[in-house]
Amino acid sequence: MASQDWVEKDFYKILGVTKGVADADLKKAYRKLAKDNHPDLHPGDQAAESRFKDISEAYDVLSDPAQRQEYDAVRAMGGGARFQAGGRGGQGGFEDVFSNLFGGGGFQGGGFPGGGGFGGFGPQRGSDLTTTSSIDFIDSIHGTNIKLNVAGNSVTLKVPAGIQDGQKLKLKGKGQASPNGGQAGDLVVTIKVRSHPVFTRDGDNVRVVVPVTFTEAVLGATIQVPVLGGEPVKLKVSPGTPNGRTLRVKGKGVQGDGRQGDLLATVEILVPNRINKKAEEALKAFDAEIPEEDPRAELISKAGLL
């Protein structure tokens, strides 16, 4: 994201927090806003989708101490380029000036090009530029194109499907120009993947936790499971499914370039915290009908062997 975006966007205001907000309060504010404005709850609502992206972008920056410090500094100065020149942390000095003038090789005997006095010197390659760009979780799975502003010029970066958080991409020749006619440097972009309120990444697979009722787990059921960027799919829960069992939906993870990821849905059995008298009596009757066994007997037996 270019520095101008940081100047124009008040991330603290977007998240409804103050500048000195603690990490825990920041996360709490983000989770509430992300849940309320998630596109899945507002299908077709472009405004909600835009708000969700702004919320995710704001949290991505403010939750990272280094980016938050840089953001505060940029806002305090009212702008300034976030692209940094490679080499010595991007800090140019007296020695760098002479390095630029003489191709990094100092004076070489013989004469200036086309004249006498000093020898010819080779064209110097321009410095690399580095920046960071944030993308949504879904775009990290399916791939996307992002536009960057480099020294006033718009460049397009293709982000491949399956990119990981923190991975770097390089645009050849899009860095700093050479000072003496040599090859331009490269633009190195670090990709930050925003977290998703429902899905997580596991290699080329996508994970989701799916709640089921006690009755569904015992008797079996066909349930709906959310899919990243698509319509929910139906999944069969077998009778007697235990808590924590993982069910697989083929082909709903990272795809492309020989990769074939799946959706891994982990069952989480919900236990009601309150039931009425009739349900309580029914459970007692159910308990009386099932085979009498101690579910902890094997655990205790193994523990005694140690």
Question: Whose CA is closest to 37, among 48, 50, 26?
Answer: 48
> What would the mean pLDDT of 43-63 be, rounded to a whole number?
86
* pTM as predicted: 0.57
Q: What is the mean pLDDT of residues 69-73?
A: 83
What is the end-to-end Cα distance of the chain in Å, rounded?
57
49: closest CA among 41, 144, 141?
41
Starting at the edge strand that comes first in sequence, how are the strands of the sheet with 263-270 ordered?
A: 200-202, 205-213, 263-270, 246-249
Average pLDDT of the residues in 61-74: 86
Partnered with residue 192 across adjacent β-strands are 134
- β-sheet bridge partners, residue 266: 209, 246
What tens digit of pLDDT does each residue of 234-279 get? 999 999 999 999 999 999 999 877 788 999 999 999 998 889 999 9
Give the rounded percent of residues in the chain with a pLDDT score beyond 90: 46
Question: Which range, of 51-65, 105-119, 277-291, averages the lowest pLDDT?
Answer: 105-119
> DSSP code of 260?
E
More confident site: 103 or 158: 158
User: Which tops the pLDDT comparison, 110 or 205?
Assistant: 205
DSSP summary character for residue 125: P
- Of 192 and 40, the structure prediction assigns the larger pLDDT to 192
Length of the chain: 306
Query: Which residues, other chains included, contact 255 with Cβ-Cβ below 8 Å and sequence gap of 6+?
Result: 142, 161, 261
